[in-house]
């Protein structure tokens, strides 16, 4: 049986903006999808990958 992401949510900083992403829980990591077109699916990350990404965002490594 294929597992599906649960608990989709978007950042509170997105307010009513439709150009953002949503994050869902998936296994030990996260699933990410585009709010503009949810029908195209999502990609998944491991817990370690997601943590590294969040750390990089907090450290402003993406400009």
Give the model confidence (pLDDT) of 6-53 as tens digits: 999 987 777 777 778 899 999 899 999 988 888 999 999 999 999 999
Top-confidence residue, 3 or 9 = 9
At residue 8's C-alpha, the angle toward residues 7 and 12, to 5°, is 115
CA distances from residue 48 to 20, 30, 52, 53 in whole angstroms, order as listed:
23, 10, 6, 9
Instruction: Provide the b/e sequence for 6-38 (b: ≥16 CB within 10 Å).
Output: eeeeeeeeeeeeeeeebbbebeebbbbbeeeee
């Amino acid at each position: 049986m294929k597992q599906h992401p649960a608990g989709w949510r978007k950042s509170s900083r997105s307010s009513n903006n439709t150009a953002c992403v949503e994050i869902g829980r998936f296994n030990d990591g996260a699933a990410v999808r585009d709010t503009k077109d949810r029908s195209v699916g999502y990609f998944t990350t491991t817990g370690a990958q997601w943590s590294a990404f969040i750390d990089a965002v907090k450290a402003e490594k993406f400009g």
